[in-house]
Amino acid sequence: MEKIIPAKLVKGDEIRVVAPARGIKIIGQETRDIAAKRFAAMGLKVTFGKNTTDENWDRMGSSSIEKRVEDIHDAFADRNVKAVFTIIGGANSNQLLPYLDYNLIKANPKIFCGFSDITALLNGIYAMTGLETYSGPHFSSLGMLKGCDYTLENMQKMLLNDGPNRVEASAEWSDDLWFLDQQKREFIKNDGYWTLHNGKAAGTLVGGNLGTFVLLLGTKYRPAFEPDTILFIEDTEGANIADFERNLQALLYQPDFANVNGLLIGRFQKGSKVSREDLEFIVSNKRELKNLPIIANVDFGHSTPLLTIPVGGTAILDNGNITLEK
């Protein structure tokens, strides 16, 4: 596959916010205002897809497929727009994959950023066009008043700056419902990366939210595990150790998994009750993982802060150290 790397953002650029799953009314006004100010501080102009405020939600908390697709197409077709950010995740962005105009997207490459349920679009777009996408903060993620510095710093390194990003573990993390009370926060000291297997590897990044990524198995929207693939996966609070293990096993069954030469695992939320010992047990019982460098408790997933990880970009794993390249 010929890869397409979107241009970096510069001051004065316009970003478009779209809602591939849930709409903007789920986001409080304070959160919206803080996020908009954060982008403005970077010199970026924020505009919204015309259907993001649609009040005609379906049972999934979304507008129609047609309206969600229209906003994505409009964003890619608009030459003034240099990046597309999702408002938030949800549960049904994979519905959009057959309806997207991949020729339009390929002809107008630009940054596309989000995470969680948006994993379906990040990987689908990359698989169908070769366009590098970004598993990183939603627009709403930047509406966090406190504890956002690490997320912002790493987003800017990937989307605005050139050169590799040697990723250091955050000093602290949080798993609280920050959007309900921006002042009352709980931060937890980070004990750093968990190196489950030492070793060195370099390759192309694919992955994201595990529960969403496995929905792409058997479809053309799942990027092939080409030689020297680095897989990165995380899961939600609702996924326990058994859910994680069986979904991981589904990936190991893929004929091209033999091309994966490294694994990154994002931080688990407290509610999942997944420990380092749990992960060590799983890894020790997977012969397919025996010789792979594996680093867990990395700053991506459904806790905060968040890294920005390029789907289709390059990762270098070096005995517990991580470098991301665009």
Predicted confidence (pLDDT) per residue in 99-154, tens digit: 999 999 999 999 999 999 999 999 999 999 999 999 999 999 999 999 999 999 99
pLDDT in tens, 47-90: 999 999 877 678 778 999 999 999 999 999 999 999 999 999 99
186 in catalytic set: no
The verdict on whether 325 is a catalytic residue reads: no
**Active-site residue, from 63, 73, 140, 234:** 234
CATH architecture of the domain with residue range 14-159: 3-Layer(aba) Sandwich (3.40)
The full 3-state SS of the chain, as one line of letters, equals CCCECCCCCCCCCEEEEECCCECHHHCCHHHHHHHHHHHHHCCCEEEECCCCCCCCCCCCCECCHHHHHHHHHHHHHCCCEEEEEECCCCCCHHHHHHHCCHHHHHHCCCEEEECHHHHHHHHHHHHHHCECEEECCCCHHHHCCCCCHHHHHHHHHHHCCCCCEEECCCCEEECCCCCCCCCCCCCEECCCCEEEECCEEEEEEEEEEHHHHHHHCCCCCCCCCCCCEEEEEECCCCCCHHHHHHHHHHHHCCHHHHHEEEEEEEECCHHHCCCHHHHHHHHHCCHHHCCCCEEEEEEEECCECCCCEEECCEEEEECCEEEEEC
Query: How many C-beta atoms lie closer than 10 Å to residue 317's C-beta?
Result: 25
The string of pLDDT tens digits covering residues 260-313 is 999 999 999 999 999 999 999 999 999 999 999 999 999 999 999 999 999 999
Return d(Cα 280, Cα 196) in angstroms, integer. 6
Note whether 294 and 263 are within 8 A (CB).
Answer: yes
- Residue tagged active-site, from 138, 245, 302, 303: 302
Structure tokens at 14: 């316009």
pTM of the model: 0.97
The full length of the chain comes to: 326
The active-site residue out of 62, 63, 93, 116 is: 116
CATH 3.60.20.10 at 165-325, yes or no: no
302 is catalytic: yes
Token pair 């390194």: residue? 157
Q: Do domains 14-159 and 165-325 have the same CATH topology?
A: no
Q: Where are the domains of the chain?
A: 14-159, 165-325
